[in-house]
A and B are shown apart, each in its own frame.
Chain A
Amino acid sequence: MSGPALRLALEIDGDGAHPAAWRRAAHSPDHLLTARRTAGVAAAAENAGFTLVTLEDGALPPGGASDVVGRIGAVERAAFLAATTSVVGIAPVVPVTYAEPFHVSSQLASLDHISSGRAGWVVGDETAPEAARAWGRPPVEGAQARAREAADGVDVGRALWDSWEDDAVIRSVATSRYLDRERLHYVDFTGGSYSVKGPAIVPRPPQGQLVVIGRPGAVPADRLDVALVGGPDLASVTAAAAAVRAQVPRVFAEVEVALDTADAPAEDRVADLARHAPWADAGRLRYTGSATGLSALLGELAGVVDGVRLHPLVLDEELPVLSRLVIPALVERRLAVRPLAAATLRTHLGLERPANRYATAVPSARQLGEIR
């Protein structure tokens, strides 16, 4: 069975999905947190044909004591990558459990400007109570309370993106007015635990609204443009996708992949890293094996979801295989599409550019007549 072609996303944080992935990386460990490394991975993903890269983040160190404990902020990396890539969509993980939504909204709108409309937002979730200490705030306890913070954060972010109409900058020399205040709007947001006045300081993003991505449950599904769904097998992914389909325009399946390389079978590579740390089960579909097998699995998923987000065991090892063997095979059979130059992430995902909620009506012919 086959549906519309898949959009492919890649999670590129650290050295890969496995906590010990750094041991198999193609660079020395102390080069992970550098500009060259950051740009190199994104360039490889863009060239391979991914539609989107995502960048995991959080206030706490990414791994345990023997794992990678350093990480540059996802928004900073994303902005840097916006300037080193030209086609691929870029979505940092930004939790709003404790962060200031006004800052988050500004940062993401700026990312969309910097990338000419290629930005997304993976709404994160600070689950560890210790993260609260990084923000000087009391812990938000429980999944439900965190989901409420996420909902408020997305709502205020989206309202601020609309708080400038697209044409708010009028540059009216005759009246000396740079802005038209009628096209700027106080959002007057009041949520569960705070309020925000508005308007934004950043003009409306090129996409109007960034593509908002998240896990249903962590974020109420009706706030999302793209839902990321897990499940240990095809049947559970299918069920999870069906459960949110009515509320979310696009559904992506989360897939962890370990692939056979020229050097070693996937099983051996997983076993090698298992000597150092277990590859914890995150409740996601996990594929271990040949490129052909993965292509077949993704072909099956094409009938179930709109896209997949891949989490490679080791970026430096899986990415070349994905690039040479998996993606070309899918594209050739029209099971996956490569993004086009000069298009926005929304366009790549087949999503419309949303109308501005505050936009006032276009002047009528009569009014134009009066001006004339």
Chain B
Amino acid sequence: MTRTDPLDVPRPDARVHFGVFFQGVNHWTVWSDPASGSQIDPANFRKVAQTAERGLFDAFFLGEGLRLREVDGRIHELDVAGRPDAVTQLAALAAVTDRIGLVSTSNTTFNEPADLARRLSGLDLLSAGRAGWNVVTTDNAWTGANFRRGGYLDHADRYRRAEEFLTVARALWDGWADGAVSGAADAPNWAAPDAVRRVRHQGPQFDVDLAPTLPRSPQGHPVIFQAGDSGEGRDFAARNADVIFSAHGNDFDDALAFAEDVRRRLRAAGRPEDDLRILPGTEIIIGATEEEALEKKHWIRLQQVTPATALGVAGLLWGLDLSDRDADGPLPKEDPVVTENDGSFGARRVADPRAVVAEWREKAEANGWSLRETVIRLGPQRGHVGTPAGLADRFAHWVRHGAVDGFNVTPYLIPDGLDDIVNLLVPALQERGVYPAGYAGTTLREHLGLREPLTRRAG
């Protein structure tokens, strides 16, 4: 890729924003290497967050899972699993970091707005304005089996509930006027009597009548992230979110098309098109040379896609139990079985398995690939591989052309998987003028260059 003239691009002042996603359940975090540490030890969360902060990352993200994954009715054994509750873990990290944003993925289906809004608000206060909330929805009764309410939500209602949930949460966050609490011990009241507004909300999903218990944080509200990719999800984001945590981060044209679609939806929702940041999830693999980086990538893929994982991924595609096959042998001869529900949960579904299998067979035969090699090469592709200079050029190009605003990086190793990025890539980006030399402010909203919360703007 050629170096772009920074002045001859749509967004000459654009910069790369980085977040780090400490993954809880996945097979992309390499656990078999001796350098791979505990997924639950608090020291590792601290290490990753502090490294990210040293690299001036905007945010530290945690995901959420509310039931252990299953395949064919049995707990899935191959992936990293077992994680802390996100808001709880982030509240601890608030004490050992100063600037980095702390973003919790929290479900609107299996929480209640008053409770979750208060938890996030507490995180926002303890971190002095660094909290974020990645709003996700679920509809399945399988997850519901862990909750009082059970599986009660129709698919169509999940975004309706999410939107009403957010309305209630924002009303609670806006419930206290700025400066509500007295600055003096001899005041008649601890908080001015009119400064705390009771929230009365009656809607199809929620019936709340409550005095909120928390003041606004320095950033007003937690920053709202959204991660759904459907049309519904994108519209929800255009109406409500500050950041989209997208899945469009591997291919420039795909990323740009997604960004343009989001900007269209933002305009339609009556918001300025620069009102929202797009941060695709990605993996970044760095080598001193292109060749070294590619070698490293292959080593990492072999750790990630173990023989059993390859058989598991192929099994989901074929709709068959392939666990007794040889991953290093040829592809299964059987045709894929297409079922409505294969009994697996929390796994990626394939839209047209027959077409995918046909393509896999053709390419495996042409290249002499084993099943495992085929899964590695043709399974979900992820991430960016290269030298610090090459990656810095590429990312500068992407942000200056408005394809992304940065990336949410998923380290393949815990706790040291960010070290190369912070030590090598960040300086290369800084040299190119697309990465700051220090934090601009103290809040997550300031790091991301966002305006006031949507409900706090002058009409």
Q: Which residues of A contact B115 (CB under 8 A)?
A: 59, 99, 134-135
Closest Cβ–Cβ distance, residue B64 to chain A (whole Å): 8
Q: Which residues of A contact B112 (CB under 8 A)?
A: 134-136
Check A113/B84 contact, CB under 8 A, given A30-B181, A76-B119, A197-B67.
Answer: yes
Contact A134 B81 (CB under 8 A): no
Check A30/B182 contact, CB under 8 A, given A35-B125, A77-B122, A193-B148.
Answer: yes
- A126-161 vs B, CB cutoff 8 Å, 1 = contact: the mask equals 000010011110000000000000000000000000
Closest Cβ–Cβ distance, residue B309 to chain A (whole Å): 6
Listed stretches B70-78, B226-234, B362-370; interface member: B70-78
Contact A29 B42 (CB under 8 A): no
Closest Cβ–Cβ distance, residue B321 to chain A (whole Å): 15
- B118-159 vs A, CB cutoff 8 Å, 1 = contact: the mask equals 110111011110000000000000000111101000000000
The CB with the most chain A CB atoms within 10 A, among B24, B145, B183, is that of B145
Q: Which residues of B contact A35 (CB under 8 A)?
A: 94-95, 125-128
Closest Cβ–Cβ distance, residue B145 to chain A (whole Å): 4
Contact A76 B126 (CB under 8 A): yes
- A15-33 vs B, CB cutoff 8 Å, 1 = contact: the mask equals 0000000111100111011
Contact A202 B306 (CB under 8 A): no
Q: Which residues of A contact B65 (CB under 8 A)?
A: 201
Contact B209 A133 (CB under 8 A): yes
Q: Which residues of B contact A164 (CB under 8 A)?
A: 82
Q: Is residue A351 within 8 Å, beta carbon to beta carbon, of the partner chain?
A: no
Smallest CB-CB A-B distances: 4 pairs: A176-B308, A110-B84, A76-B122, A83-B95
* Chain A residue total in the interface (Cβ 8 A): 77
Q: Which residues of B contact A65 (CB under 8 A)?
A: 189, 193
Q: Which residues of A contact B207 (CB under 8 A)?
A: 133, 136
Tell me, in angstroms, the Cα distance from A65 to B371 when the chains sit together: 69
20 contacts between A and B (CB under 8 A): A30-B183, A33-B214, A35-B95, A59-B210, A60-B211, A69-B196, A70-B191, A72-B125, A73-B119, A75-B88, A80-B95, A83-B42, A102-B146, A102-B147, A113-B42, A171-B31, A184-B75, A196-B147, A197-B145, A201-B65
Check A203/B190 contact, CB under 8 A, given A59-B114, A77-B126.
Answer: no
In A154-174, which residues have CB < 8 Å from any B CB? 164, 168-169, 171, 173
Q: Which residues of B contact A202 (CB under 8 A)?
A: 40, 82-85
Q: Is residue B215 within 8 Å, beta carbon to beta carbon, of the partner chain?
A: yes
Tell me, in angstroms, the Cα distance from A197 to B110 when the chains sit together: 14
Contact A198 B146 (CB under 8 A): yes
Q: Is residue A181 within 8 Å, beta carbon to beta carbon, of the partner chain?
A: yes
Q: Is residue A38 within 8 Å, beta carbon to beta carbon, of the partner chain?
A: yes
- B51-93 vs A, CB cutoff 8 Å, 1 = contact: the mask equals 0000000000000011110000011111111111101110111
Tell me, in angstroms, the Cα distance from A175 to B76 when the chains sit together: 13
Which of B68, B93, B208 is in CB contact (< 8 Å) with A184?
A: B68
Which of A71, A113, A201 is in CB contact (< 8 Å) with B66?
A: A201
Q: Is residue A52 within 8 Å, beta carbon to beta carbon, of the partner chain?
A: no
Q: Is residue B188 within 8 Å, beta carbon to beta carbon, of the partner chain?
A: yes
Contact B181 A70 (CB under 8 A): yes
Name B's A-contacting residues (CB within 8 A): 24, 31-32, 39-42, 46, 65-68, 74-85, 87-89, 91-96, 110-112, 114-115, 118-119, 121-123, 125-128, 145-148, 150, 176, 179, 181-191, 193, 196, 206-211, 213-215, 306-309
Q: Is residue A34 within 8 Å, beta carbon to beta carbon, of the partner chain?
A: yes
Closest Cβ–Cβ distance, residue A86 to chain B (whole Å): 12
Known: A76-B122, A114-B88. 12 other contacts (CB 8 A): A25-B185, A34-B125, A59-B118, A75-B91, A79-B88, A83-B94, A107-B88, A116-B42, A171-B32, A181-B75, A199-B68, A202-B84
Q: Which residues of A contact B125 (CB under 8 A)?
A: 33-35, 72
Closest Cβ–Cβ distance, residue B34 to chain A (whole Å): 10
Contact A136 B213 (CB under 8 A): no
Contact A80 B77 (CB under 8 A): no
Closest Cβ–Cβ distance, residue B119 to chain A (whole Å): 5
Tell me, in angstroms, the Cα distance from A169 to B29 when the chains sit together: 14
Closest Cβ–Cβ distance, residue B301 to chain A (whole Å): 14
Contact B31 A66 (CB under 8 A): no
Q: Which residues of A contact B32 (CB under 8 A)?
A: 171, 173
Q: Is residue A232 within 8 Å, beta carbon to beta carbon, of the partner chain?
A: no
Q: Which residues of A contact B75 (CB under 8 A)?
A: 179, 181, 184, 199
Contact A80 B208 (CB under 8 A): no
Contact A80 B91 (CB under 8 A): yes
Q: Is residue A260 within 8 Å, beta carbon to beta carbon, of the partner chain?
A: no
B93: nearest residue on chain A (CB-CB)? A83
Q: Is residue A294 within 8 Å, beta carbon to beta carbon, of the partner chain?
A: no
Q: Is residue A291 within 8 Å, beta carbon to beta carbon, of the partner chain?
A: no
Contact A28 B183 (CB under 8 A): yes
Q: Which residues of A contact B40 (CB under 8 A)?
A: 113, 202-203
B308: nearest residue on chain A (CB-CB)? A176
Q: Which residues of B contact A63 (CB under 8 A)?
A: 190
A111: nearest residue on chain B (CB-CB)? B88
Contact B114 A134 (CB under 8 A): yes
Check A29/B93 contact, CB under 8 A, given A73-B122, A77-B126, A197-B145.
Answer: no
Tell me, in angstroms, the Cα distance from A194 to B151 when the chains sit together: 12
Q: Which residues of A contact B31 (CB under 8 A)?
A: 171, 178
Which of A39, A106, A180 is in CB contact (< 8 Å) with B95?
A: A39
Tell me, in angstroms, the Cα distance from A88 to B381 when the chains sit together: 47
Check A176/B88 contact, CB under 8 A, given A72-B125, A133-B210.
Answer: no
Which of B24, B91, B185 is in CB contact (< 8 Å) with A79?
A: B91
Which of A29, A34, A103, A110 is in CB contact (< 8 Å) with B111?
A: A103
Which of B68, B94, B123, B176 is in CB contact (< 8 Å) with A201?
A: B68
Tell me, in angstroms, the Cα distance from A72 to B121 when the chains sit together: 8
Q: Which residues of A contact B94 (CB under 8 A)?
A: 35, 80, 83
Contact B74 A181 (CB under 8 A): yes
Q: Which residues of A contact B211 (CB under 8 A)?
A: 60-61, 69
Contact A178 B183 (CB under 8 A): no
Q: Is residue A48 within 8 Å, beta carbon to beta carbon, of the partner chain?
A: no
A179: nearest residue on chain B (CB-CB)? B77
Tell me, in angstroms, the Cα distance from A84 to B85 when the chains sit together: 19
Tell me, in angstroms, the Cα distance from A77 to B122 when the chains sit together: 8
B196: nearest residue on chain A (CB-CB)? A69
Q: Is residue A67 within 8 Å, beta carbon to beta carbon, of the partner chain?
A: yes
Contact B79 A178 (CB under 8 A): yes
Q: Is residue A100 within 8 Å, beta carbon to beta carbon, of the partner chain?
A: yes
Tell me, in angstroms, the Cα distance from A371 to B80 when the chains sit together: 25
Check A28/B184 contact, CB under 8 A, given A22-B190, A201-B68.
Answer: yes
Tell me, in angstroms, the Cα distance from A79 to B308 when the chains sit together: 37
Tell me, in angstroms, the Cα distance from A76 to B67 when the chains sit together: 22
Tell me, in angstroms, the Cα distance from A349 to B350 when the chains sit together: 53
A22: nearest residue on chain B (CB-CB)? B190
The CB with the most chain A CB atoms within 10 A, among B111, B190, B211, is that of B190
Tell me, in angstroms, the Cα distance from A29 to B207 when the chains sit together: 32
Q: Which residues of A contact B146 (CB under 8 A)?
A: 102, 196-198
Tell me, in angstroms, the Cα distance from A360 to B40 when the chains sit together: 23
